[in-house]
Amino acid sequence: MDHLSEHPIPSSRPYGDEGPLGEPNGCLPPDRTQAILEAAKRIGSLLKAKDHPFALAGGVAAYAHGAVVRLQHDADFCIRREDADAVTRTLREAGLEVFLPPEDWLVKARCLGQDVDLILELAKRPVTSELLDRAEVLPVDSVHMPVLAATDMVSALLAAFSEHHCDFGAVLAVVRPLREKIDWRRIRAERGQAPMPAAFLYLLERLQVIEPEGAGS
């Protein structure tokens, strides 16, 4: 999620070049995907240690569920709005930089040279305890943490489709390996009336990823 902050965000530094985090200088990951995973693991560990309710979201969540993704932008976490101040305090006490962007539905941070989005609203809906309670604890490399349920994750991906952003190919790569974990009845009920999600669901039917609506009933 590439959003501009009202405060200047420092330029990216080499991975591991952040003294307050205790990481050795010059320890480069093999690629950007690994760098983002390391940032996600660090943030997840900090939030777990303080018992903050949260769930991993976005591309790293898809990775944790088993989709083959190439991470390029940031690590996303869902937190409740009422927990934002406490989460911000935890991250700053750990030496991370935290920024308040103009958008009022997220908080941004920097960890190990990577951007991190702390999302307060998912698909224009507030992050709730119910959403976080549905999260599944999964390993992200070596760190176990709550990850958005596959249905919630895909519902948010479809809600993001618009005339200006409609990358069916990227989302297809996520849903195809996860199709057995997704409640497609709920997806259709939540997103099937909007034109772009409806077109994507039709594509999934034609590709035989999912059955047509009503099949087998």
DSSP per position, 39-70: HHHHHHHHHHHTT---EEEHHHHHHHHT----
| Of the candidate ranges 5-14, 85-94, 175-184, the one whose mean pLDDT is the lowest | 5-14
Q: Taking 90 as the threshold, does the pLDDT of residue 104 lie above it?
A: no
Reported as a single tens digit per residue, the pLDDT across 26-38 is 555 457 888 899 9
If you ran DSSP here, which 8-state letter would residue 212 be given?
P
Core vs surface per residue 97-122: b (16+ CB within 10 A) or e: bbbebebebbbbbbbbbbbbbbbbeb
CA 143 → CA 30, 40, 56, 138, 165, distances in Å?
A: 19, 9, 12, 8, 32
Residue 8: CA count within 13 A, CB half-sphere: 2
Decide: 137 and 117 in contact? Cβ < 8 Å.
no
User: pLDDT of 110-145, one tens digit each?
Assistant: 999 899 999 999 988 999 999 999 999 999 988 999
* CA angle (54, 150, 87) in 5-degree steps: 10
Do residues 140 and 54 touch, judged by C-beta distance below 8 A? no
> What's the pTM value of the predicted model, to 2 decimals?
0.80
Q: What is the pLDDT of residues 41-93, one digit of tens each?
A: 999 999 999 999 999 999 899 999 998 777 777 899 999 999 999 999 999 99
CB 5 within 8 A of CB 99: yes
Q: How many CA atoms lie within 13 A of 149 on its CB side?
A: 16
Beta bridge partners of 55: 78
